[in-house]
Amino acid sequence: MAFGPYLLLATLEGLVTAAVLALMALGLSLVFGVMRVVNVAHGEFYMLGAVLAWWVASFFGGHPALGFLAALVLSPIMVATIAFLAERLVLRRLNYEPEATIVATIGLLYIIQQLALTFYGPDARPVQAPFDMRIALPWFGYSGYKLAVIAASILLILVAWILLTRTRLGLIMRATQYDRETAQTFAIPIDRVHAGVFALGAGLAALAAVLIVPIQQAHYLMGHDPLLLSFIVVIIGGLGSLRGTVVAALLIGLSDGIISMFFSPTLAKMLATLLVALVLVFRPQGLFGVAAR
């Protein structure tokens, strides 16, 4: 096959990765930006989203679209509820102290992973795509569902952007992000904002997972790599910046797709991780971020 088709395929696959990654990283970035909490369990919320999606979809019989749509609604809500409880029961009691919350979310990671292993098992299980359609491209046919994932992600990010910049809720969140104390004096219920943001962040991860399960199967260890990738995205994009997150997700998603066609995936991961660690050391505000206050 010629170079052109290869590149097109790699670009499309990269866009799918970027679409899912952007949603997930957005959740991580929101939680860090507003709460200053590094949520190490974010990957497990993603995994939980996928596993619950399988569970919901297999509960509903009939047309695959029915089960998928039910999962798309129910799974993120369930995950958000779990995150909400975790925030109330654990993180709040730690006063959001950065080091303590990292240790606590590591604990959460282990617990969720073990529960998934115990109740869901070690097998990988697929969820059927809501529709099965191939779209003819110049050189090959391509899964219509994957294109739909890209479209859905764009849509969701637009919604998030409007929510953050054009609504009162977004204003409250941004106010909390910039200056906790002042926000408090303006009678913003910081406490509820935090719980809501943590739930929202986890919900976004779950949403990303539901979108991906028809392509990748649900498995109890599936949260690990996306966690690392979304860390990379958030760091490169600049912590807490929406635009940076989206740009970085595109960059990482596309380069991941293209690089892994030429290099071994392990080497690619190694170099990417090293690069990001160095970005954090030498340019902590991210490649696209503005220097912090």
* Residues at the site binding other proteins, with contacts judged by CB under 8 A: 36, 38, 90, 93-94, 98-100, 102-104, 106-115, 117-118, 228, 231, 235, 264, 266-267, 269-270, 273-274, 276-278, 280-282, 284
Nearer to other proteins, 151 or 278 (CB): 278
Q: In sequence order, which residues have a C-beta less than 8 Å from that of residue 177 and are 6 or more positions away?
A: 33, 34, 240
Give the separation between CA 165 and CA 186, rounded to whole angstroms. Answer: 19
CA atoms within 13 A on the CB side of 251: 18
CA distances from 148 to 57, 151, 285 (A): 19, 5, 33
Nearer to other proteins, 111 or 133 (CB): 111
Q: How far is the CB of 108 from other proteins (least distance, A)?
A: 7
Q: How far is the CB of 207 from other proteins (least distance, A)?
A: 24
* Beta strand 134-136 pairing with 141-143: antiparallel
Q: How far is the CB of 270 from other proteins (least distance, A)?
A: 4
Nearer to other proteins, 100 or 258 (CB): 100
Give the separation between CA 23 and CA 171, rounded to whole angstroms. Answer: 20
Contact 38, 104 (CB under 8 A): no
Q: How far is the CB of 23 from other proteins (least distance, A)?
A: 21
Contact 87, 202 (CB under 8 A): no
Q: How far is the CB of 248 from other proteins (least distance, A)?
A: 15
Nearer to other proteins, 38 or 69 (CB): 38
Nearer to other proteins, 107 or 144 (CB): 107
